[in-house]
Amino acid sequence: MELPVVIVNFKNYSESTGQKAVELVKTCKEVVEEFGVSIAVCPQFTELREAVDFGIPVFAQHIDPIEKAGAYTGSVVAENLKALGVAGSLINHSEHRIPFEQIAKCIEILRSGGMVSVCCAATAEEVGKIAGLQPDFVAIEPPELIGSGISVSTAKPEIVLESVKAAGKVKVLCGAGITTGEDVRRALELGTVGVLLASGVVKAVNPKAVLEELAAAAKERV
């Protein structure tokens, strides 16, 4: 996956369910082809199979710390996701926090399976702690700004700078409140390699227009 990257989390919004999810993945693919910028998607589990057919990176929204497929009713197993063509997973999103030891196990499972780990953190201190586990990405997302429309890269740039420093050689994504191209520019200027967002695209009146604006800003750094 080339950098910078825009990762769109579909969450469990009605606007990203069923055929609406498929259309949104299609829109992301169109913007990728138009701008030549990496866009990855995190659909609901019910749409993962259809999403991978579009040929852009698809991540799950969560995995459980289970190494191999087996009798784990109701669990999300990375091995099975990989068989579908899923590239990786979010871990420890603010809406699905897990204990540190489970974060470590999930990173290990994804790494051993050749999959991408995108771990979320609420503070720069947590970024540093998670970065010690060597995930592929750490996304800094202050919970109070998630879904607010107020970007952390604008409202609290010092947190992004502290996170980049704390992460060392681990790549940092900027999350929480990303909605505009300017948010992307500021995030990249602060040393991140991309953004993680959800409602700014999924709930937009015109998701494609928003994606085009984000992609145009990211392309300036390609």
Question: Which residues are catalytic, by number?
Answer: 93, 141
Of 196, 202, 194, nearest to 3 by C-alpha is 194
Alpha-carbon distance of 90 to 26, in angstroms, equals: 21
Q: How far apart are CA 59 and CA 89, in angstroms?
A: 5
The CA-to-CA distance between both ends of the chain, in Å, stands at 13
Rounded CA separation 22/47 (Å): 7
Handedness of CA 57, 60, 61, 66 (dihedral sign): negative
Q: How far is residue 26's CA from residue 98's CA, in Å, rounded to a whole number?
A: 31
In angstroms, the CA 134 to CA 130 distance is 7
208 phi and psi angles, rounded to 5 deg: -65, -40
Task: Name the maximum alpha-carbon separation found in the chain.
Answer: 48
